[in-house]
Structure 1
Amino acid sequence: MTDPLTALTDAGVSIWLDDLSRERLTSGSLARLVADQHVAGVTTNPTIFAKAITGSDTYTEQLGQLAARRVEMDTALREITTFDVRWAADVLRPVYDATDGVDGRVSIEVDPRIAHDTERTIAEAKALWWLVDRPNLFVKIPAAKQGLPAISACLAEGISINVTLIFSLARYGEVIDAFHAGLERARENGRDLASISSVASFFVSRVDTEIDHRLDKLGSDNAAGLRGKAAIANARLAYQRYEQACVTERWQALHQAGARPQRPLWASTGVKDPSYPDTRYVVDLVAPEVVNTMPEATLRAVADHGVVPADSVHGTYEAAQQTLDDLAELGIDYDDVVQVLEEEGVAKFDASWDHLGEQLARTLSTTPATASGR
């Protein structure tokens, strides 16, 4: 019997790990997941790094070196995170080469505190691209309104971008437009479009968390019947938008010039509500040319007992739209939901970054300086 992770890969889903730490790298954990569990990429975010750096002593030596150099906290934070991402990119480089650059990618996010500042986001993305200095890097830029022109500007410079924190179908449409605009500018600049890559990270489970909370407040049988249906419906309609974008004349012109499509990436696929099956945001979103980035617990759950269909997205669009229509009839304001989720998403990453910065500053002030190296 085919194992579920092989079935998922055969269905056209790229399996990425939504986690990274120095411990994963030094222990060989990441390398084993790549070799044995079909992991073909890695995503990170400020919360992941906050957990990794504050929960391990594997950073002690580098912290000592940073203390000896008396670097500022922001610089120290970037040196630590780019070190891990560079190392992970080297681990994934064989996958990148074997897939001709489609997979084998590692993502690092711009400082979330500047998500609403276009020029600073562009400057930070360029700095990260230079600091990591690996062709299989993705720089993550939040899909806030001010991030859209930054996405286009960075793509135009040849920087591969992971557009993150997408919740709404309307914003996803704007992301697609920003992607096309960036590639058009890159083409005008004479850049090789085949060397530029992008994914659009559409968040899943958080949509159910927010809408289920609102449904529970209503307390009706109709409301209870819609619990847990919104996130998958929303993501399936996003995939429909992806397919629609791929047949436009605008995209076909770019594709003929060598451009690669901006694949949808399902993010936030760990189940938040324990009453739901722990594999639902993977097995219910199987379609060709997508990425599913999952925490290791979700990855292990799929490997253990996931029932993976050949395709669980095509043929569902009408039902998915009906789900959103039914929610609207109950008074669930879709536009308000996705706006709240976008603002909360940026705020949570802000808080993680600030918390990590405060802890790192304290650690640097108390860590004995050392000049020894790895």
Structure 2
Amino acid sequence: MSSNKQLQELSKQGVAVWLDDLSRERIQSGGLAKLAKDMSVVGVTTNPTIFQGAITKSDLYDEQVRECKRLGMTIDETVRMLTTHDVRDACDILRPAADSSNGRDGRVSIEVDPRRARDTEGTNAEARTLWWMVNRPNLFIKIPATVECLPAITATIARGISVNVTLIFSLERYKAVMDAYLSGLEQRVADGGSLEGLESVASFFVSRVDTEIDNRLDAIASDDAKAARGKAGLANAQLAYQAYEEVIASDRWKALAAKGAHVQRPLWASTGVKNPDYPDTMYISDLVAPDTVNTMPEKTLDAYADHGKLGTPVTQTYDTAAATMKELAALGIDYDDVVKVLEDEGLEKFEKSWHELLDSVKAEVDAK
């Protein structure tokens, strides 16, 4: 079976294949277009870490940096000019996938400033500004799933702006995110707005859950703890899909669907395997379900294309997943503490990457 067929089969099962990476080199070399053509890639996600790496490793940004300097732009403004430029070009490359899927795929995500993750109104304002700056219908604005940003998700959807909700670790928060999406749709309908072209995904993180819980299991150092390693990330995500199915079976959702609303698809994020002892495609093979997205680093994409196989469908895993989470609790794993630590660390990492991005661009500006 060719790599293309492996990924095509995944797509046929209802899993949209997205790339978790973007750079100007990937855009201008034709690499992104080739992935779309040959590897079933129908979407792109970005984050501050991705942009920091792209800009510091390439001279393709130099001319634009010089232009921004001549115009007297601040470093923050320069970063936004560089990143929105890349996202706009990527949106154009993936526009055929958007058109052929009626706007469902072909999406490219850009994140609000992670320093605003606890700032409802600041996130609200920046979501509108980024939507205006990129000015492409197949854009996603990434908003973190913090408690403070849940109202911003609702408000952004109500304005007709498509949203990728990011940094979801817990089932409770995921349910709150789905509620925020439905509330935004309801508000838009009440205001007389159109639901056409309005899309959303909810990015549920996977591998980081295993990393955190495995570390805690190692500290327990029992045979039962050792046997439980590497199971939490998948179980948590599988139970998230169960929660999603409960929502789309509700009367509340059915009323919105009748008005033309589209589901907020679960997006499996952080699907690169961190532990070399685990199968490198486990967060793809075992998360196959209709109406989902799997955003993969290129290394993981290539691995699945080479030797990936479909695992047990998610809808057949709920009992096992629930048993896994009970087993972990019995071993002393505090789920609520785990997801809080992961959210705090995720926000801290993205904010650190954002500062590194600003510093890198400042160094480029100073050198010009």
* TM-score, normalising length: structure 2: 0.98
C-alpha distance in 2 between matches for 1:70 and 1:121:
25
The answer to whether the Cα contact below 8 Å between 2:43 and 2:108 also exists between their aligned partners in 1 is yes
Which of the numbers 30, 46, 49 marks the counterpart of 2:48? 46
1:277 alignment partner, one of 258, 279, 282? 279
Instruction: Give the drift of 1:349.
Output: 0.3
Partner Cα separation in structure 2 for residue 135 and residue 222 of structure 1: 50
Cα displacement (A) at 1:61: 1.1
Distance 1:217 1:295 in 2: 30
**Distance in 2 between the 1:180 and 1:116 partners?**
22
Say whether residues 1:220 and 2:222 are aligned partners: yes
The equivalent of 1:314 in structure 2 is 315
* 2:179 alignment partner AA: D
Give the aligned partner of residue 250 of structure 2.
248
Task: Name the counterpart of 1:325.
Answer: 326
Give a deviation string over 1:182-206, Cα, whole Å, max 9, x none: 0000101111113211000000000
- CA displacement at 1:315 relative to structure 2: 1.4
Equivalent-residue separation in structure 2 for 1:37 and 1:4 (angstroms)? 9
The correspondence of residues 136-285 of structure 1 with structure 2, limited to 5 A, is: 136-285=138-287
TM-score normalised according to structure 1 size: 0.97
Q: 2:141 matched to 1:130?
A: no
Q: Any stretches of 5+ residues in structure 1 without a counterpart?
A: 368-374
Give the AA of the match of 2:218: D
After the TM superposition, which parts of structure 1 deviate over 2 Å for at least 4 consecutive aligned residues? none
2:58 corresponds to: 56
Q: What are the superposed Cα offsets for residues 98-149 of structure 1, whole Å, 9 maximum, x if unpaired?
A: 0111100000000000000000000000000000000000000000000100
Q: For 1:343 and 1:194, locate their aligned partners in 2 and report how far apart those are by CA, in whole Å.
A: 35
Q: Over residues 49-107 of structure 1, what are the superposed CA-to-partner deviations in whole Å (9 max), with x where a residue is unaligned?
A: 01111111111111111121121000000000000000000000000000111100000
Alignment: residue pair count = 366
The amino acid across from 2:27 in the alignment is L
Kindly provide the amino acid, as one letter, of the partner of residue 289 in structure 1.
D
Equivalent residue letter for 2:81: E
Q: Tell me, in whole angstroms, the C-alpha distance in 1 between the residues paired with 2:367 and 2:230.
A: 47
Supply the distance in 2 between the matched residues of 1:358 and 1:172 (Cα, whole angstroms). Answer: 33
| Inter-partner Cα distance in structure 2 for 1:278 and 1:315 | 22
| CA RMSD between the two structures | 0.8
What residue identity is the alignment partner of 1:317? Y
Question: Unpaired runs of 5+ in structure 2?
Answer: none
Specify the alignment match of 1:71 in structure 2. 73
1:363 corresponds to which residue?
A: 364
Amino acid at match of 1:348: K
2:352 alignment partner AA: A
1:354 & 1:315 partners in 2: Cα distance? 43
Tell me whether 1:114 sits opposite 2:77 in the alignment. Answer: no
Range moving further from structure 2, 224-233 or 63-72: 63-72
Give the Cα separation in 1 of the matches to 2:344 and 2:352: 12
Alignment of 1:354 onto 2:351: no
Instruction: Work out the CA distance in 1 between the residues paired with 2:168 and 2:131.
Output: 22
CA distance in 1, matches of 2:213, 2:6: 30
Alignment equivalent of 2:290, drawn from 288, 291, 308: 288
CA distance in 1 between counterparts of 2:243 and 2:79 reads: 37
Cα displacement (A) at 1:230: 0.1
Shift of 1:220: 0.3
Is the partner of 1:116 in helix, strand or coil? coil
